[in-house]
Structure 1
Amino acid sequence: METSINIPETKSKSNGKALAVGVQQPNRGVKKGIAIGDFILRLCAMAATMGAAITVGLADQSLPFFTQFLRFQAQYDDIPSLVFFMIANSIVTAYLVLSLPFSVICIVRPLATTPRLLLVIFDAAAAGLTIAAASASASIIYLAHNGNPNTNWLPFCQQYGDFCQAVSGSVVGSLIAGTLLLFILILSAFALKRS
């Protein structure tokens, strides 16, 4: 003997949208918090790269040689790695300024993945450029401070102390900016993973 129970169909009020059981919507609050943190870190990195580029561009020191009319001068454009350093930090600063609207889009629309993915790609390039420029300049600054007795290179910074201090500070600022860009990459990757 078979028994059947007839259950009438009920219409859902979801306007044709299927509701999946067990699927959770991503947490908008967490993504918005990550986007706000990204924006703040982006502003800090922009300030660090801008400060590094301006400091190295203005680093200049003159020393008299025998007379007042004959002088030795140290400028950033005398050292090619410092020229690369200033150009790279200027490029990264310009990129960070241009990336701010995309970061704002990520705050307003925290579930949007396209602007965040675009930022991840360019943030990786900016981090690489910043760290490469800072590393190249750090090696030259190390030689300027300590010299190399094996090749008879004398320490440059004994005479040009102000110039070396300004350039050393800008290299530290650029390394801080590179670290901030790496944190931005980690935050963005975490936000994309939670999509």
Structure 2
Amino acid sequence: MRSGALEMGSEVAKGAASGPVNRGAAVVDFFLRVFAIIATLGSAIAMGTTNETLPFFTQFIRFRAKYTDLPMFTFFVVANSVVSAYLVLSLALSIFHIMRSRAHASRIVLIFFDAGMLALLTAGASAAAAIVYLAHKGNSRANWIAICQQFNSFCERISGSLIGSFGGILIFVVLILLSAVALSRR
């Protein structure tokens, strides 16, 4: 009988100890989501406002580079925008997890949606990274010339927007792992 009381007491102590741990994980989750919003929204804005015009021989003929010229960059902007909107909406659940650290069903739903957004963000960043690589290096076999010698400002902005997006990918990985750890501490 006494061992049963000890086991029950250890369960209560274990539950009491996991409460502050889960609350701390929820607070970290909230701040990581805010940082991910900044990274993905900044990437979408940087890519979406990128264009550069170079004069040719006369003022009437100009070369222009815009993000809409390549569908991969458009997909990148849309993917980062969708992920940013999702992150803003998910802040409500993150706040709910701070207030009720023992909520498990909503945390499971959040993990699934986080994984879906991670896949979307990775797809958009990977597609854009392939084109950025071609813009910097070119490909002589496919007759792609490296345009970054001419469109320097354009290439700097698209490369910078990739950094924010890949930062968002890393934050999503940490968010998923953090939620999984919080669920395992029940």
| TM-score, normalised relative to structure 2 | 0.92
Where in structure 1 do 4 or more consecutive aligned residues deviate above 3 Å? 19-22
Residue 134 (1) aligns with residue 125 (2): yes
What are structure 1's unaligned runs of at least 5 residues? 1-18
- The aligned amino acid for 2:15 is Q
Q: Could you tell me which residue of structure 1 aligns to residue 138 of structure 2?
A: 147
Residue 52 (1) aligns with residue 43 (2): yes
Question: What do residues 121-147 of structure 1 show as CA deviations (whole Å, max 9, x unaligned)?
Answer: 111111111111111100110001000
Correspondence 1:1-195 to 2 at 5 A: 20=8, 22-23=10-11, 24-26=14-16, 27-195=18-186
Question: What do residues 106-162 of structure 1 show as CA deviations (whole Å, max 9, x unaligned)?
Answer: 000001112211111111111111111111100110001000122222101111110
SS across alignment from 1:68:
coil
Percent sequence identity over aligned pairs: 45
CA distance in 1, matches of 2:149, 2:20: 54
Kindly name which structure, 1 or 2, has the bigger radius of gyration based on alpha carbons.
1
SS across alignment from 1:83:
helix
Shift of residue 22, structure 1, vs aligned partner: 4.2
Q: Is the 8 A contact 1:145 1:157 kept in 2?
A: yes
- What's the Cα RMSD here? 1.2
SS across alignment from 2:60:
strand
